[in-house]
């Protein structure tokens, strides 16, 4: 059974940093491109970033470029999202998701990030 379990969310002050983690199981993690997607309350999902199988290729949404870094550790079956210079509009439920090639085909349950002073 495919499982993606996110952690690391919480309350952070504006300008602060947070690192999210996502542990994958039930599939060959090292063969899958992975994504982070976020969703603010009452809004649609917003794609954040993706990474290829060995971590050599990454893409970011313009809104997070230069502030967020996606990375992975295939030995630990873990995906990361380092978030720096956090702003109020970064507050959301952050989902880890697997790429099935032409679509994001599986999502975790999400971890909540709150940005407030």
Partner 1 sequence: QSALTQPASVSGSPGQSITISCTGTSTDVGTYKYVSWYQHHPDKAPKLMIYEVSNRPSGVSNRFSGSKSGNTASLTISGLQAEDEADYYCSSYTTSSTWVFGGGTKLTVL
Residues that bind partner 1 (CB under 8 A): 35, 37, 43-47, 50, 59-62, 95, 100, 102-110
Question: What tokens does 80 get?
Answer: 């990361």
51 - beta bridge partners? Answer: 34, 58
Question: What tokens does 65 get?
Answer: 């470029």
Least Å distance, CB 13 to partner 1, is 28
Least Å distance, CB 75 to partner 1, is 25
Q: Containing H/E element for 40?
A: none
Judged by CB, which is closer to partner 1: 27, or 106? 106
Judged by CB, which is closer to partner 1: 77, or 107? 107
- Give the contacts of 115 (CB within 8 A, at least 6 positions apart): 11, 12, 13, 14, 16, 86, 87, 88, 90, 91
Judged by CB, which is closer to partner 1: 27, or 47? 47
Least Å distance, CB 16 to partner 1, is 26
Judged by CB, which is closer to partner 1: 12, or 32? 32
Least Å distance, CB 96 to partner 1, is 10
Cα of 93 vs its chain's centroid, Å: 10
């Amino acid at each position: 059974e495919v499982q993606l379990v996110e952690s690391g969310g919480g309350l952070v002050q504006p300008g602060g940093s947070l690192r999210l983690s996502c542990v994958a199981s039930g599939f060959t993690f090292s063969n899958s491109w992975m994504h982070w997607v976020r969703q603010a309350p009452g809004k649609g999902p917003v794609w954040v970033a993706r990474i290829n199988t060995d971590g050599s290729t990454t893409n970011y949404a313009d809104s997070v470029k230069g502030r967020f870094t996606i990375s992975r550790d295939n030995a630990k079956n873990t995906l990361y999202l380092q978030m720096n210079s956090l702003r109020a509009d970064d507050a959301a439920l952050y989902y880890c998701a697997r790429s099935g090639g032409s679509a994001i085909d599986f999502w975790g349950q999400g971890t909540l990030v709150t940005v407030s002073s």
